[in-house]
Structure 1
Amino acid sequence: MGIAAVVFDMDGVLIDSEPIWEQVRHEYVVLKGGRWQPDSQKKMMGMNTVEWSSYLADELGVAEPADEVAAAVIDLMADKYAHHVPLLPGAVDAVRRCAGSWKLGLASSSPATVIDLVLAKSGLLDYFTVVLSTEEVGRGKPAPDVYLTVAQRLGVEPNDCTAVEDSTNGLRSAHSAGMRLIAAPRPEFPPSPDALALADVVIDDLDELTSGVVTGGA
């Protein structure tokens, strides 16, 4: 039947948030006596809340229960976004443009409270029919759970969806779900070459997210 829905990731696709997540987590780990590693942020990209908070506690040595780690970091992120939402260039126009032709879903690894804050402050909330955090499904990315659930709630088959992703785990997640895949990688956190190779098309910015790119047509 062709493409019936577009499913966006949020962090690194609509907002330039990965540097903020890295700063907040890094500072928190150091404050709590943990050991931040150069690849820690890249490893956590795509993890759901339970997974990354456990990673901070178990792997990076934060001496707090994982649920307390999650609550503290989420509060710090919410405070950052309350002052400023770092929308990427072209994000608002891309969402509006796609909403004019397809149902829209959001499949994000951010906590639900953070997603709602970002979408509300950016004026994008009403454009999405389905908004879902990986904390609300069984497994985070690279598992396909969040994309499969978004498609189900949209009432469309996964192979009738186009996903827009940036990270290694996100690309693998959407591909595993069977969606047409558009990669919009961030140069600061480039995906692995093998994950990028899964994409049907790679774009440099959201201005390139045209109807032809979404559907694979001319």
Structure 2
Amino acid sequence: MNYYIFDVDGTLIDTEKMYMLPLLKTLRSNGYDVTYQDVEKVFGITASDALKILGVQEVTAVQKQWFGQIKNYLNEARVYDGIIETLAKLHADPNNRLAIATSKIESEFHRDVTRFGLDDYFDTFVFSNEIKHGKPAPDLILKGVEKLSADPQTTIYIGDTVYDLQAAHAAHVAFGLAGWRTAKTGALADSDYNFKRPTDILSVNLSTDFK
């Protein structure tokens, strides 16, 4: 592989609680009888899609309340161990080009990613406001392929959810599962690669042990 496109939430950064705790609080304050397990299931897709799946009627109003609470949970986010080392080595190889394709809008990206310095390792970025359809549609990844001028045959999208897997395969690129967060079970069994830790990505061209 020479083209590496990464998801952010649950892949580069553990932001689950940062997003899901304020969502849970917001939904309960609006009378929705939900558990953390309910909201956890929609982690990783666009906010509006997540709220619709959860049966929210006033999506715009609830999303505004939810996002207004996130600033109180920023300390819940952290970069996964091994991510910086992996990105630095991939970026240092002149044969590689790296992109981020995320369901975040650009302002959320700067709030969540720039503060950790991760954007320094990437050549380009794709945000949800640039495309028409969020994951599991392939739009984000196809835009990443376009921006990188990538060959889909040597492109891999790395993410942690079934939505990421479906989007990658719909875009006709390989999918690498962020196994440091999500186990390769059930709907994720079709993952092309199963990386147990971030540094495993560095060996993707050398071995098929991660299948």
Which TM class, normalised by the smaller chain length?
A: 0.7 to 0.9
Give me the whole-angstrom Cα distance separating, in 2, the residues matched to 1:157 and 1:41. 36
Matched letter for residue 88 of structure 2 = R
Number of residue pairs matched? 206
**Counterpart of 1:13?**
11
- 1:74 maps to 2:67: yes
Length-normalised TM-score, structure 2: 0.85
Aligned pair in 2 of structure 1 residues 98, 78: CA closer, same or farther (>3 Å)?
Answer: farther
- 1:90 maps to 2:88: no
- 1:178 maps to 2:172: yes
After TM superposition, the structure 1 = structure 2 runs for residues 6-155 of structure 1, keeping only pairs within 5 Å, are 6-37=4-35, 39-55=37-53, 59-60=55-56, 65-81=58-74, 83=75, 85-101=77-93, 102-155=96-149
Once the two structures are superposed, residues 172-213 of structure 1 have per-residue CA deviations (whole angstroms, 9 ceiling, x without a partner) of 1112211122111355x656523x222222121112221x31
Deviation of 1:105 (Å): 0.7
Preserved contact between residue 181 and residue 199 of structure 1 (Cα < 8 Å) = yes
Percent identity over the alignment is 20
Preserved contact between residue 180 and residue 195 of structure 2 (Cα < 8 Å) = no
Preserved contact between residue 9 and residue 44 of structure 2 (Cα < 8 Å) = no
Once the two structures are superposed, residues 28-49 of structure 1 have per-residue CA deviations (whole angstroms, 9 ceiling, x without a partner) of 1011222225653344234223
Deviation of 1:26 (Å): 0.6
Preserved contact between residue 15 and residue 87 of structure 1 (Cα < 8 Å) = yes
Q: What RMSD in Å do the two structures reach over aligned CA positions?
A: 2.4
SS in 2 for 1:164: strand
Aligned pair in 2 of structure 1 residues 172, 127: CA closer, same or farther (>3 Å)?
Answer: same
Length-normalised TM-score, structure 1: 0.82
Q: Which runs of 5+ in 1 are unaligned?
A: none
Aligned pair in 2 of structure 1 residues 14, 35: CA closer, same or farther (>3 Å)?
Answer: same
Q: Which runs of 5+ in 2 are unaligned?
A: none
Deviation of 1:103 (Å): 1.1
